[in-house]
Structure 1
Amino acid sequence: MSLLEQLNADMKTAMKNREKEKLTVIRMVKSSLQNEAIKKQADLTEEEELQVLSREVKQRNDSLHEFRKANREDLAEQIESELAIIQAYMPEQLSDEELEKIIQETIDEQQATSKKDMGKVMSAVMPKVKGKADGSKVNQFVMKHLQ
């Protein structure tokens, strides 16, 4: 089942169960996917759908950070619940151990030794973990390994 089919099915279920918040979030995600397809003028591949979902998660994480900084816990809680709904459609996230292993293998492959090689390592790691790990977390681990 494609992501759009899954979203449509979940949207119907949310309507029947009167889950207003879930319905709103699903509609936002579906709209983002459809806008991306219109922009591309073709159906999205799974990878492109994953990119859109990742962008939605990143936007909400940024908002969450800003709301917390401004002591707006009411808005932060709303964003957290939206994040939980969206992340249900994301692939399972890598554990820290799995991520560190991938990063270490990539550093060895690239023969990276210092922080000067950071860009080379990041550009090799990101396609491997696309949608399965947060970019800032990857960045942190790469920095830790390239000291």
Structure 2
Amino acid sequence: MLEKDITEALKQALKSGQKVKVSVIRMLISEIKNKKIADRVKELDDQKVIGLVQKMVRQHKESIEQFRQGRREDLVTKETAELAVLDEYLPEQIPEEEIARIISGSIERTGAVSSKDMGRVMSDVMGLIQGRADGKVISRMVKERLT
């Protein structure tokens, strides 16, 4: 289970003295605990943990963009290092060619013909991809196909 892997990675990072990794994993474990409390459950399934990691990745990417605009290269470097640690816990991302193929199949299955049908296509595609691609990329590609 992913949650146990994360806890084990924290132990290894502590032993090897990887300060950035320890910091990021502790933040992730904190997010997991908060989610457990909010959902009133003892364990989170891997999909929910991946969802939390994706949320943290989005936050880091937004921070990197803001720091670049503010010309804070020191913070960009820090956030990029933290982002690399989080990426270790995401499933391998699907290439855009594969996403395009999945979108084409979904459009055929749902009978979508215009941008009004985007919601049906998106829900079908997201169900198939399950966190292995960025929702913004999928949304952009579906829009391009339906307009």
TM-score range, shorter chain: over 0.9
- For these two proteins, the number of residue pairs brought into alignment is 146
Matches for 1:1-147 after TM superposition, within 5 Å: 2-42=1-41, 43-147=43-147
The CA deviation at 1:130 is: 2.3
Q: Which amino acid aligns with 2:99?
A: L
The CA deviation at 1:128 is: 1.7
Query: 85-94 or 40-49: which moved more?
Result: 40-49
Q: Which amino acid aligns with 2:13?
A: A
Q: Which runs of 4+ in 1 moved over 6 A?
A: none
CA RMSD of aligned residues (A): 1.3
The CA deviation at 1:68 is: 2.0
Give the distance between the partners of 1:71 and 1:104, measured in 2 at CA: 41
- The gaps in structure 2 that reach 5 residues or longer are none
The CA deviation at 1:85 is: 0.5
TM-score with structure 2 setting the length = 0.92
The CA deviation at 1:73 is: 2.1
- 1:29-82 per-position Cα deviation (integer Å, ceiling 9, x unaligned): 111011101111112112211211111111112222222222222212211111
Q: Which amino acid aligns with 1:4?
A: E
**3-state SS in 2 of match to 1:44:** coil
Give the distance between the partners of 1:68 and 1:103, measured in 2 at CA: 33
TM-score with structure 1 setting the length = 0.92
Give the distance between the partners of 1:105 and 1:120, measured in 2 at CA: 13
Preserved CA contact (<8 Å) 2:3 2:46: no
- The gaps in structure 1 that reach 5 residues or longer are none
Give the distance between the partners of 2:138 and 2:69, measured in 1 at CA: 23
